Structure 1
Amino acid sequence: MLDLFPEAEKPVDIIPARKLAAKAAALYVAPSGRFETRPVDALRLGFNGIDGDFHSGATRRSGGREPWYPRGTEMRNERQLSIVAADELAVVAERMGLAEVKPEWLGANLVIEGVSNLSMLPAGTLLFFKGGVTIKVDAQNGPCRIAGRSIAEHAGMADVEAGALLFPKAAMRLRGVVAWVEKPGTISVGEEISARVPEQWIYTA
């Protein structure tokens, strides 16, 4: 009889799924046409993301992160929200020789407390907000010079271009994650979040 579940020649280490308790420590929105965000008490989320936000939309145009498409190709918008952690931004600030790096300087929409190594959350992680909203993590957010330039300008760095170049190195794997809205609604500052991290494994051919 055919064995439908043969043993793998190379056993794979599987990390079980888990749940984490978290909180929405701060919320931000980017006015249409602006990269930087400003603090708000609540965010109204639809299937297009945050109403009126710079990154809202069901689709977006490809850029440097998608070299497999001609720049400007219309594609699904999986980057509707930018999520960061205060402890990781503190490390970035220290590496850049700054007193602080504020979430709004790099266009963040949500600061989450209670999740260690936030930037390492795997794709597929679901964030269930107590009020009913669900956000799904797509990927780690790679730091870029656009955000670096914004930080350098707001922090008053003497050499803005040097700061823009320093940020991608200082913030590698500390820039947070990008996510999209799976179940719409309104989220508020201080709202409880249940983060459901999926089962994880490393694929090897």
Structure 2
Amino acid sequence: MGKLTATIGIILECSKNLSKPKLANPKSLSEDRVFINLVTETYNYLKFIAVILKEKKLKQSLVLSNLSELRDRNLPYAEQMEIIDDIFKSQVSQRLEKYLKTHEALWISLQLRYEPLSQEILTTECAEVFSKLHESKMQNRNTVFSTSTEDVAVGYLDDGYGCGWRYSLCVAAATATAILCHASCETTALATTAGLGIPACVALCGTAQVAAGVYCYDKYCK
């Protein structure tokens, strides 16, 4: 028993000394499939929120105020989801839950393999991901600018064809902020929120970054 305990102790000590891969190469993260999936999922979630705000003609400042109040109440998970649907006047909870679960799984994977990711690194690597995705899409399109009905109607987070690197960097900052904001929601989650982060907090993060996305689109794509 003593030998077994000693062996386990050695294994645990060795595992502590195993260093996580550092981001020595700033381009390495943007080549990580897990990170790419996290960026695109967050981007698509922000677009979803933007569409709802537009379709329901919701005043963003009021939505933010209501979500902030809901977050501070620390209600059970299911109850928060119901109220969030009421705030957005739409069944957004299903899409929100998908984002919650996807973000949690992908973020944990990144945390296990990398040193703490700073806002600066995330923004730079998000921009690189967007740049590569846009380049890939442009090779498969006959036109340069996106004509998606959704994008034109919302005027937000357009695919960025022809908008330039400044747009990619700008919208990357909004996406990176949303990712980190959501991560902070998870660290403050209570048992009543199913371990996925506080839904109202995550909804608040995304809605706040919609304005940033609109700014990027208006400044660099029009």
TM-score range, shorter chain: under 0.3
| Structure whose residues are more often helix by fraction | 2
| Structure whose residues are more often strand by fraction | 1
Larger Rg, first or second structure (1 or 2): 2
